């Protein structure tokens, strides 16, 4: 049957009108999308814990919502605000430290370089080469990096203020989602069923499982590694432990690992002459750095039965593509795509036999 021109025109206009409404709605909600995305990820990841809190609070939803909101405030906003205040107070020190690199003078290589196996000769040669460079040449080489570092630092201080604002809005939206969680979940499942039937609802459920997997596996591993690394730094007597733990936490979430901070601290201890503590911290740092190889897969498997390579690829790719929020968006998108593709392939195989037999089955 051939559609009439009037019906084609009406359908086209209807699609264009719906698309215009969706685009306009997204444009209006654009200032809130970042906070809303974070709120959805956090609420989905912590929903089982919220139900546990509700049971402990005499099954009163409003009490559980207040407790969870205060918990998010204590875990996210207050530490971040403290970090911003600390950075702003130390801005002069950081600027002076970075600017002092322009007048850096390099002396003889440290004696402990000779104790490093395999690379000691190379390190000594590189150090001596830098020591032979004149002050003007060294300043000219460092100037672009110093200026870029200062600009980045100032930009990050301003961006952190905006991030605190987003986090405050995120807590408000999270409270709303905690209070209306069942209705929101039913709306998402109904939309998914309307869009793709049972497979659509399965994809929606898998999205929630993937979010919990990332929250449990990635964030959980980052917390454990940062705590263990911080313990080693405290015992070894490394200064500015709080700042180093925060840096380790961010590096672990970004899938870089705590090694950059820990091994740099080991080098600093060797430089300061604390050879015993440096060796102890080196052994501890190796254990902490490799702990994610078994801790992350174990925690991820508890959230969703998905291939580990799928989750890790989604985390790294999402981080590069979308920033911090991509840590959750990336695995969810890949998990849903993988499941729908697998269901389509399996469905094709099952329908390939006209008699309705499974592959390899005989009557």
Q: Which is more confident, 238 or 110?
A: 238
pTM (predicted TM-score)? 0.67
The answer to whether residue 15 sits within a structural domain is no
Task: Clarify whether residues 95 and 232 are in a common domain.
Answer: no
pLDDT of residue 357: 42
Spatial neighbors of 3 by CB under 8 A, at least 6 apart, are: 11
pLDDT of residue 363: 35
Mean pLDDT of 328-352: 68
Task: Clarify whether residues 128 and 213 are in a common domain.
Answer: no
SS3 content of the chain, % helix, strand, coil (to 5): 85, 0, 15
What mean pLDDT, rounded, does the chain reach? 77
The answer to whether residue 77 sits within a structural domain is yes
How far apart, in whole angstroms, are the C-alpha atoms of residue 169 and residue 164?
9
Phi, psi of 103 (to 5 degrees): -110, 25
pLDDT of residue 234: 93
The answer to whether residue 16 sits within a structural domain is no
Task: Clarify whether residues 174 and 256 are in a common domain.
Answer: no
pLDDT of residue 98: 54
Mean pLDDT of 168-195: 89
User: Taking 60 as the threshold, does the pLDDT of residue 354 lie above it?
Assistant: no
Q: Give residue-wise pLDDT tens across range 216-233.
A: 777 788 889 989 999 999
Q: Give residue-wise pLDDT tens across range 65-120.
A: 999 999 888 876 666 666 556 656 655 555 565 555 555 566 677 676 676 666 67
The answer to whether residue 352 sits within a structural domain is no
Spatial neighbors of 39 by CB under 8 A, at least 6 apart, are: 170, 171, 173, 174, 177
The answer to whether residue 349 sits within a structural domain is no
Task: Clarify whether residues 84 and 217 are in a common domain.
Answer: no
Q: Which residues of 103-115 are buried (b: 16+ CB within 10 A; e: fewer)?
A: eeeeeebeeebee
- From the list 232, 236, 228, 229, the residue with the least C-alpha distance to 277 is 236
pLDDT of residue 352: 37
User: Taking 80 as the threshold, does the pLDDT of residue 349 lie above it?
Assistant: no
**Lowest mean per-residue pLDDT among 70-84, 178-192, 240-254:** 70-84
How far apart, in whole angstroms, are the C-alpha atoms of residue 311 and residue 300?
8
How far apart, in whole angstroms, are the C-alpha atoms of residue 228 and residue 78?
23
Task: Clarify whether residues 200 and 175 are in a common domain.
Answer: no
Contacts 24+ apart (CB under 8 A), 79-83: 80/160, 80/163, 80/164, 80/167, 81/164, 83/160, 83/246
pLDDT of residue 146: 60
Task: Clarify whether residues 201 and 161 are in a common domain.
Answer: no
Residue that terminates a domain, selected from 147, 179, 211: 179
How far apart, in whole angstroms, are the C-alpha atoms of residue 191 and residue 62?
27
The answer to whether residue 188 sits within a structural domain is no
The answer to whether residue 103 sits within a structural domain is yes
Residue that terminates a domain, selected from 145, 179, 213: 179
CB neighbours of residue 40 within 10 Å? 20
Residue that terminates a domain, selected from 130, 150, 179: 179
Which tokens belong to 232?
Answer: 């080693």
How far apart, in whole angstroms, are the C-alpha atoms of residue 96 and residue 81?
23
Task: Clarify whether residues 126 and 81 are in a common domain.
Answer: yes
Q: Which is more confident, 159 or 350?
A: 159
User: Taking 90 as the threshold, does the pLDDT of residue 345 lie above it?
Assistant: no
How many domains is the chain partitioned into structurally? 2
C-alpha pair distances (Å), 335 with each of 207, 217, 262, 328: 7, 15, 33, 11
Mean pLDDT of 35-52: 87
Which tokens belong to 237?
Answer: 């007597």
User: Taking 60 as the threshold, does the pLDDT of residue 350 lie above it?
Assistant: no
pLDDT of residue 233: 93
User: Taking 60 as the threshold, does the pLDDT of residue 204 lie above it?
Assistant: yes
DSSP state for residue 332 in the 8-state scheme: H
Task: Clarify whether residues 218 and 308 are in a common domain.
Answer: yes
The answer to whether residue 362 sits within a structural domain is no
Cα 277 from chain centroid (whole Å)? 32
pLDDT of residue 361: 45
Cα 7 from chain centroid (whole Å)? 48
pLDDT of residue 151: 66
pLDDT of residue 308: 73
Task: Clarify whether residues 201 and 157 are in a common domain.
Answer: no
Per-residue pLDDT band at 31 (split at 50, 70, 90): confident
Per-residue DSSP letters for 211-260?
Answer: HHHHIIIIIHHHHHHHHHHHHHHHHHT-S-HHHHHHHHHHHHHTTS-THH
Task: Give the range of the structural domain holding residue 90, as residue numbers without chain letter.
Answer: 31-179
Which strand (E) or helix (H) includes residue 12? helix 5-56
Task: Clarify whether residues 161 and 210 are in a common domain.
Answer: no
pLDDT of residue 286: 92
Per-residue pLDDT band at 351 (split at 50, 70, 90): very low
Task: Clarify whether residues 202 and 299 are in a common domain.
Answer: yes
Task: Clarify whether residues 170 and 202 are in a common domain.
Answer: no
């Amino acid at each position: 049957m051939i559609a009439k021109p009037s019906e084609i025109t009406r359908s086209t206009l209807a699609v264009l009108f719906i698309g215009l409404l969706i685009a306009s709605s997204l444009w209006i909600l654009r200032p809130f999308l970042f906070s809303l995305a974070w709120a959805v990820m956090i609420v989905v990841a912590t929903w089982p814990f919220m139900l546990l809190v509700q049971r402990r609070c005499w099954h009163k939803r409003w009490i559980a919502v207040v407790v969870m909101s205060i918990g998010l405030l204590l875990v996210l906003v207050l530490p971040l605000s403290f970090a911003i205040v600390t950075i702003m107070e130390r801005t002069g020190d950081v600027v002076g430290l970075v600017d002092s690199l322009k007048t850096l003078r390099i002396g003889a290589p440290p004696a402990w370089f000779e104790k490093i196996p395999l690379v000691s000769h190379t390190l000594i040669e590189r150090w001596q080469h830098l020591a032979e460079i004149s002050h003007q040449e060294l300043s000219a080489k460092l100037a672009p990096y110093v200026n870029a570092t200062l600009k980045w630092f100032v930009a990050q201080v301003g961006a952190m203020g905006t991030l605190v604002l987003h986090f405050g809005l995120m807590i408000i939206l999270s409270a709303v989602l905690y209070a209306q969680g069942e209705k929101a979940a039913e709306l998402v499942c109904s939309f998914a069923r309307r869009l793709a039937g049972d497979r659509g609802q399965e994809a929606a459920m898998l999205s929630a499982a993937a979010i919990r997997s990332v929250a449990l596996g990635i964030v959980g591993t980052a917390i454990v590694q940062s705590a263990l690394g911080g313990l080693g730094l405290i015992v070894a007597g490394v200064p500015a432990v709080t700042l180093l733990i925060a840096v380790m936490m961010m590096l672990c979430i970004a899938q870089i690992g705590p090694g950059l901070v820990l091994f740099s601290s080991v080098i600093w201890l060797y430089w300061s002459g604390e050879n015993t503590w440096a060796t102890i911290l080196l052994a501890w740092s190796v254990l902490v750095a490799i702990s994610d190889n078994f801790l992350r897969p174990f925690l991820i498997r508890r959230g969703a039965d998905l291939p580990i390579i799928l989750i890790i690829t989604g985390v790294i790719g999402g981080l590069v593509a979308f920033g911090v929020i991509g840590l959750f968006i990336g695995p969810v998108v890949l998990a849903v795509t993988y499941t729908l593709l697998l269901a389509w392939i399996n469905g094709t195989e099952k329908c390939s036999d006209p008699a309705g037999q499974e592959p390899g089955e005989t009557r």
